[in-house]
Amino acid sequence: MDCYEAGAYRGAVLMVWAATMEHIYSVIEGHRQGFKLLETENFKRYEKASFYRKIRKKNDLLYVNDGNLLLICEDAGLFNKNARSILEDALKTRNRCGHPTGYVVGREEVVVFIERLINNIISGAMVDWD
């Protein structure tokens, strides 16, 4: 929130995205079968891909592309299609802000970005295994 209050909106987007992904990692780690469920879906979806890596522990998640991880999490039942859609939209904004694109993110866009992720993902409202 310090970034947002200082007017560093791109930085605020990056920090909130990082917090969101850390929350997702923690939910996976906190589930008794979390890594097993994720690896099962990872293998089904990407076993023949050149970038395939096994997921056995939290640090392994750092090597999985965020977009691919969102698909695997949906496949594993961590969240549904609507949550994935919110996360994919947020990832697009994160990527525009995290790379030298010349993109200027405004205050209101950042407010919506933050509220959407906090209210739906970080709060746990749309992220939960049965």
73 neighbors 79 (Cβ within 8 angstroms): yes
**pLDDT, tens digit (0-9, with 9 covering 90-100), for 1-41:** 789 999 999 999 999 999 999 999 999 999 999 999 999 99
pTM of the predicted model as reported, rounded to 2 decimal places: 0.94
75-119 pLDDT tens trace: 999 999 999 999 999 999 999 999 988 999 999 999 999 999 999
SS3 content of the chain, % helix, strand, coil (to 5): 70, 0, 30
Question: Rounded CA gap, 76 and 129, in Å?
Answer: 9
Handedness of CA 100, 51, 77, 30 (dihedral sign): negative
Domains in the chain: boundaries: 2-122
Closest CA to 83 of 36, 41, 51, 129: 129
Longest dimension (CA), the chain: 45
